[in-house]
Amino acid sequence: MILSTAVVMMLGGLLFSVRRSSEGTLLAESIGELRQEVSLLEEQLSYEFMRVDSLSSLQRISRAAARLGLREAEDDEVLHVADVGTLRDSDRQGP
């Protein structure tokens, strides 16, 4: 009787150990997936910071150009510094 109880306890322990091991494997896979997702989100956040900084720079440049009386390029136009003209009084906006 003691032997059978010991065997049952031993089998129960093995089953519990196998179950815990498979749960650990699943947790490790989940952790790996979460780490990959965090890495992708950090990369996206870095891109968004660069984008915001770029937009801020563009706004500063546009304000400085307006103060100097330079005209802005049209959406489909590329201006070279030598080609940039000044705004005519009739083209000026603002107060």
Q: What is the pLDDT of residue 85?
A: 53
Given a contact cutoff of 8 angstroms between Cβ atoms, the answer to whether 76 and 58 are in contact is no
Buried/exposed 51-68: b ≥16 CB within 10 Å, e otherwise: eeeeeeeeeeeeeeeeee
Enter the tokens of residue 65: 């150009």
Given a contact cutoff of 8 angstroms between Cβ atoms, the answer to whether 79 and 73 are in contact is yes
pTM metric for this prediction: 0.45
| Nearest-angstrom CA–CA distance, 72 and 50 | 23
The closest of 59, 83, 55 to 71, measured between CA atoms, is 83
Enter the tokens of residue 12: 């129960």
Q: What is the pLDDT of residue 95?
A: 47
Best-predicted range by mean pLDDT (15-19, 78-82, 85-89) = 15-19
